Amino acid sequence: MDYAKLVSRNMPAEVRSHPGIAADTDYVFSVTYTDLDQMPTTELADSLRALMPSEGAALAKYPPPQGHDGLRDLIRQRLSENRGIDVPLESIFLSSGAGGAISTIVDAFIDPGDTVLAEEFTYSGTLNMLLGHRANVVHIPTDVDGMDPDALEDAIKSLNARGIQPKMIYSISVYQNPMGITMSEERKKRMVEISQRYGVPIFENESYADFYIDGDPLPPAMMGMDDQDGVMYVSAYTKLLGCGLRLGYAVAPEPVMDTLRKLRFGVSPSHLTSMAVYGYLSEHGDEYIPSVADSLKTKRDTMMAALGEHFPPSCKWSQPNGGMILWGELPEGANTWDALDAAIQAGVKYNPGAMYRADGEGNNKMRLTFSYHNPEQIREGIAILAGVFESQGMFDNA
Ligand SMILES: Cc1ncc(COP(=O)(O)O)c(C=O)c1O
């Protein structure tokens, strides 16, 4: 049977990905896995067990189209208390991770040739979905306060002058992946103004908002600043409670919900998982979230100290106040894409910067994650990585 001839014409376009990212290594600094030292496996099971007598019978049926009501209500309360987002329950739907919600929104709105504006480097999963839909992704210059609003406005004006209306502005506004930046409140307000002035919706991804470590409190989400149905929002409990739980959510204004209802919302998560997460977070969320922050602080500081010890000062690292990611810039000419094979041979994985750009630029940039391993493993892995980079001549221009 020749399946190659039968493949659908709707198959996504090829996207750029390093073959090494799937390799099995001892030290994984390439994925924002859940903090294994904090993950509450026993308590999650206990919460589920406690809910089964009252909620277990619901598993005989298919879950409600937008997901578990109790969990959605908890999300509604938490968004109002922590992110300045006040929405009714009907505006929230659960999805298979943040990725499931992103995929649903991209499917609903992106046609081949559409233009999407994004930060200078942006999360490779969304980038791949957009490129898979043959979108034109335009990266906007981004500094320590987030996407530059003047550059954003100039880009929209110049696209409009060529008859192109961008479909959306995609922004990871908190502990940005991969750059680690948090957009300032003033910038967020300007982003919302620009979105409203030019009629380009914002697609805001706050997947890391639960991971405040230190510094100023987080500014509210752009969704709470907008009064014109101009922001769609996604986040998840994957990073917080377990990537394998596949539990995320989206918040969308009614006109978007209307469209998504036709697609029957994100690939829905298991109702059993939703019950466990609901039970656990309602009971333990207020203690668990700060305990993850404490652990991430130790891991971030350990990784930064190890980088300071083993890498030359010409390598610059971000200093994030939260999240799970460090963003690095190596000397000009260093190629993190090419060096990944040698690093994998030595047992360490990271993500090359070029994975986060539609044009594959950024070869001297890289992303490291500090959430999964314990401090001792972090120290070991970073020392090995520095040795590999040195032997690959990556510091030669230092
Ligand atoms: C910014 C961002 N969005 C979405 C995702 C996908 O996460 P999930 O596992 O919740 O689907 C990730 C995962 O790394 C991410 O960093």
In a domain, 398, yes or no: no
pLDDT at 105: 96
CA-nearest of 383, 398, 373 to 305 is: 383
- Domain that residue 184 falls in: 56-283
Identify the residue whose tokens are 């009714």. 88
Q: Residues of the chain whose pLDDT is less than 50?
A: none
Same structural domain for residues 323 and 260? no
Q: How far does residue 98's CA lie from ligand 1's centre (Å)?
A: 5
> Does residue 46 belong to any structural domain of this protein?
no
Angle at 117 between CA 113 and CA 118, to 5 degrees: 125
- What is the 141 CA–ligand 1 centroid distance (Å)? 22
Does residue 163 share a domain with residue 236?
yes
Q: Is 249 in the pocket of ligand 1 (CB under 6 A)?
A: no
- 281 Cα–ligand 1 center, Å: 20
Shared domain check, 150 and 273: yes
- Here the CATH number for the domain that contains residue 321 is 3.90.1150.10
**CA 252 – CA 232 distance, rounded (Å):** 5
- Assess whether 225 and 264 both reside in one domain: yes
Phi, psi of 374 (to 5 degrees): -80, 165
How many domains does one find in the chain?
Answer: 2
Domain boundary among 219, 249, 283: 283
Check pocket membership of 125 for ligand 1, CB cut-off 6 A. yes
- CATH code for position 231: 3.40.640.10
Q: Which of 143, 186, 165 is nearest to 327 (CA)?
A: 143
pLDDT 10s digits, 172-186:
999 999 999 999 999
pLDDT at position 334 is: 94
210 touches 229 (CB < 8 A): no
- Looking at the fold, whether 184 and 292 belong to one and the same domain comes out as no
Listed residue (304, 368, 307, 312) closest to 336, CA to CA: 368
Do 165 and 17 share a structural domain? no
The pTM of the full predicted model, rounded to 2 decimals, is 0.96
Confirm or reject: Cβ of 250 under 6 Å from ligand 1. Answer: no
In a domain, 179, yes or no: yes
Ligand 1 proximity of 32 Cβ (cutoff 6 Å): yes
Before 178, cis peptide (omega within 30)?
A: yes
Q: What is the pLDDT of residue 266?
A: 65
Inside any domain, residue 185 = yes
Helices (H) and strands (E) in the chain, counts: 12, 15
Best substitution site from 29, 177, 274, 326 to test ligand 1's pocket, by max atoms within 8 Å of Cβ?
Answer: 177
Is 273 part of any domain? yes
Residue indicated by tokens 């020749």 = 2
Does one domain contain both 179 and 312? no
Same domain, 37 and 65: no
DSSP 3-state of 42 = helix
| The pLDDT of residue 315 | 96
Does residue 248 line the site of ligand 1, with CB under 6 A?
Answer: yes
* Tokens matching residue 267: 């690939």
Q: What is the pLDDT of residue 77?
A: 98
Looking at residue 17, what is its pLDDT? 80
**Residue minimizing CA distance to atom 13 of ligand 1:** 32
